[in-house]
Amino acid sequence: MQIFEKIKDLQAFLAKESAKGSSIGFVPTMGALHEGHISLVKEAKKESELVVSSVFVNPTQFNDKKDLERYPRTLEQDTKMLAEAGCDILFAPSVEEMYPQTDTRKFDFGFLDNTLDGAFRPGHFNGVAQIVSKLFEAVKPDKAFFGQKDFQQVLIVKELVRQLDLKIEIVPCPILREPDGLAMSSRNTLLSPEERKQASNIPVWMKEAKQLFNGKNAEEVKKVIIEKVNSTPLFKLDYFEIRNADNLQEYNAPTDKHAVALFAAFCGRIRLIDNEVLS
Ligand code: PAF
């Protein structure tokens, strides 16, 4: 695996590979890698000749400074995992390399950015769009692979690609889960043993929502699950919503085809998200 820290070195290398006709699959990450990320690399390998992954903790997408400070950084271990998974190129730039000056761009994603995580983490998706557009410009991939755990992020990135008219296919990949069902996340390592124990309730609630949902009873299902979350110690709920999976608008039966349940809560100090496609 080749490692690059500078955009111009990465671009010089990739330009030669593209000229040979190699298709490029890209897996952007913020590091602290787990099996979920590795599954993205494996999918990228199946669908592309050259796989590039980036490890960069992007400061502009953190609306909470403390969250940025405590975000796990494990580059040595990440490098080993990517190499073992067969990743061809690791791009691990510094903050100065990605932001030589402040990025003042403001993207407009409308409702997609005003709801759910967009509402609870103001500026988060603008920061995601800033870094993803810079990474896309540096890597120029044919396909980019994103985990469905960040359901809203996938929709935002698709909209970004549409607005910038990029010829990049966004490939959403399924959520990977721990043996007890908790969605894999770099943040899971920050949970205390007690928080980790309580966090295993999340996949139980998501499954229950799926079982209860019959296409018409979104409000009732929400009520049941919200009550359970609110009566579980250590949890502070941001939202549990059932939405139209295509655009995140309120789910309207029977016209809307796909429903998704979306969850975000603090478990102790750590904010966790999950989702489950219901229909
Ligand atoms: O999903 C993530 O890890 C990040 O939001 C991403 C896409 C790498 C941008 O920093």
152-187 pLDDT, tens digit each:
999 999 999 999 999 999 999 999 999 999 999 999
Q: Which residue's CA lies nearest to atom 1 of ligand 1?
A: 29
Residue 279: its pLDDT value, please?
82
Question: How many CB atoms sit inside 10 A of residue 214's CB?
Answer: 12
Number of domains in the chain: 2
Residues 70 and 165 in one domain: yes
12 alpha carbon – ligand 1 mean position (Å): 24
Answer for the pair 68, 59: CB distance below 8 angstroms, yes or no. Answer: yes
Whichever domain contains 57, its CATH number is 3.40.50.620
**Domain that includes residue 206, residue range:** 186-277
Residues 87 and 145 in one domain: yes
Residues 140 and 252 in one domain: no
Rounded average pLDDT over 258-279: 97
In a domain, 113, yes or no: yes
Residues 30 and 143 in one domain: yes
Rounded average pLDDT over 33-58: 98
In a domain, 180, yes or no: no
Q: Percentage of the chain with pLDDT > 70?
A: 100
Residue 253: its pLDDT value, please?
87
Is 52 a pocket residue for ligand 1 (Cβ < 6 Å)? no
Rounded average pLDDT over 257-262: 96
Rounded average pLDDT over 15-41: 97
**Rounded alpha-carbon distances, angstroms, from residue 279 to 34, 225, 256, 276:** 28, 18, 10, 9
- Tell me, yes or no, if 34 is annotated catalytic: no
Nearest atom of ligand 1 to the alpha carbon of 157: 7
Residues 132 and 199 in one domain: no
Is 28 a pocket residue for ligand 1 (Cβ < 6 Å)? yes
Residue 126: its pLDDT value, please?
98
Residues 65 and 199 in one domain: no
**Rounded alpha-carbon distances, angstroms, from residue 168 to 44, 143, 163, 267:** 13, 5, 12, 36
Residues 80 and 57 in one domain: yes
Q: Which residue's CA lies nearest to atom 5 of ligand 1?
A: 128
Residues 89 and 13 in one domain: yes
